[in-house]
Structure 1
Amino acid sequence: MSVEIVDDEALWDRFVDASPNSMLFHKRAFLNLQEKYTGDKLLPYGIFAGNDLTCILPVFLSKQNGLRLLYSPPRSSLVYVPYLGPATSPAIARLQPHDRESAWRSIIGELCAEFSRLSPNYVALGLSPGFLDVRPFERTGYEADLMYTYIIDLERPVQAIWESIESDTKKSIKDASRHPLTIAQATDTATFTDLMRQGLKSQGETFFHRQSPEYLTEILEAFPDHVRMYFLYLGEDLIGANTLCSFHGHCIGWMGNTAARQGFSANDYLVWEMLKKVKQEGCRTFENTGADEKRLNHSKTKFNPALVPWFYLYKRDPLYRTAKLGQLALGKIKRHA
């Protein structure tokens, strides 16, 4: 196997479309936007077996405070991408377990060797759910944090999904539906960003405070069939919003917030309406991110999701460890920034 930079964007996107474990975030236009809005250098690595592209792994090279850092995805404070990491070909998925593990070890070995050539002080990889075999990374010195997300099975009938929802939540949805609520597709990212900033003001400086609304505007324009924004109105008043990201039959409730209301839950109503909508459009699963934030667990589990693991991998050299100890107090470096 060999590792090469894949400059052919059409080849890259054909691979992403065919891969069983790729995400929309892997598409080249999405990667280019991540590069543009972080200022980090995109390194679109491909792993070839002969002439066959078997795996891709886009990483971003960042230079901060004299350190060389590799991220995949980039820092969440700048692009709000939950996962990136590798995506493999259908041929890898079809292999028998013995051959698949052997191929995976070879792929990771080649990638880690390439990363070493770049001499980074820190490498961080957020693997998408489904990549559970992190042993080849750990054997080369990576540490692994076990993370979680919530995923709802949409292949059941709508009535079965409804019956699985917590009873008080079903009541709150019914109560909300008695109000003059409407949902409309939107493109006003400035208003959306303002709504998010207001809803998250108690959380300090978030992605929505740091990043320009133009980032989301360009995403909506580049992927109109995959990323859509919806506004929830009570009469003429905007009270909530949700931005969904769909790809390969999987929908992520990517960004969203609702204003606090007295008397009914706008958030429960909006999530339920989004679930029904994306199911009707053919999505098989719906991901409601936020399982690792304790303050969100109560609201996220109302819809009876499955708790699904994923891994955040990182490797730190002695210089990074020393710099982190010296600079963490100044807020210049954060472990998962």
Structure 2
Amino acid sequence: MTDASFTPRVFSGIKPSGGLTLGNYLGAIKRWVDMQDEAMENIYCAVDLHAVTVWQDPHALRQGTREIAAGLLAAGIDPARSILFNQSQVHQHAELAWLFNCVARVGWMNRMTQFKDKAGANAEKASLGLYAYPSLMAADILLYHATHVPVGEDQKQHVELTRDIAAKFNHDYGVDFFPLTEPVIEGPGTRVMNLRDGSKKMSKSGESDMERINMLDDADTIAKKFKKAKTDPEPLPETVEGLAGRPEAKNLVDIYAGLTDQTAEAVIAEFAGAGWGKFKPALADLAVSKLAPISDEMKRLLDDPAEIDRTLGRGAEKARTIAAPILQRTYEIVGFLKS
């Protein structure tokens, strides 16, 4: 392997804790599917090592991992064109993460806002894994010399940390071995908000199931949730600027835009002045047409968990063929002795 020869490559993952939602689909999965048509190698995984930064029921973790795989496959990730696996089957992730724990600085970790958000007032009781997981995320990416990572805006900080770790490793050892990965943040609907409170991100752990669209929801449930989604009394404005201060309205417009690959401006141009009695049924019909087939296919795939496991296993084999020589070269650079 020659240092600084970086194949254009995409890496990203989803944590298998809880079910997939529309936020996962529009914020990540839909773009991953589209990226298969670009001239890059695509590597996607269920990041189950990240899931155990907080305690997970073992049965639920296995089921959640299979659900991630089923969702990606049903949405259009093709194992013949992309590498799909679960993280724990490629032991090199954990090994490189330890090296990066020794490269990253405590001050860098202290700036990670997601740890503060997730640990809150109980930071002293949080796991060390929750604190250090950004270095594992960096290892996930750099283990494959990934040049691009599609992320939501809230994950951009982790890609910046990945770049810092790569730059420090390269500098400390006088090499040009790890790429400075670029975050890919693009398109409408990349941040999907709660259907009952447009100021909060759609979450799989929200209090009410009506707050979110689950990727396993059937057609009737999808339609019902959109028709009952919170709005305000005003009709849709004439311009996008008119959505300012109207979080629920903006969220529904953004979802419509994301599902149709349009801009919010195009959606407003189509529905300017329309009331919610017109827009919400249109959005419900659109969502059902796009999401119900994915839900049906997910359920079909989940009926055969052994085949999902085989698919992930084959993907892990492909991932290891890329990861193993990169980790071995890293060990050589660091100075580890191997007989």
Asked whether the two chains share a fold, i.e. TM above 0.5, the reply is no
Normalising by structure 1, report the TM-score.
0.29
Q: Which has the higher strand share?
A: 1
Name the TM-score, length of structure 2 as normaliser: 0.29
Relative to total residues, which structure has the larger helix share, 1 or 2?
A: 2
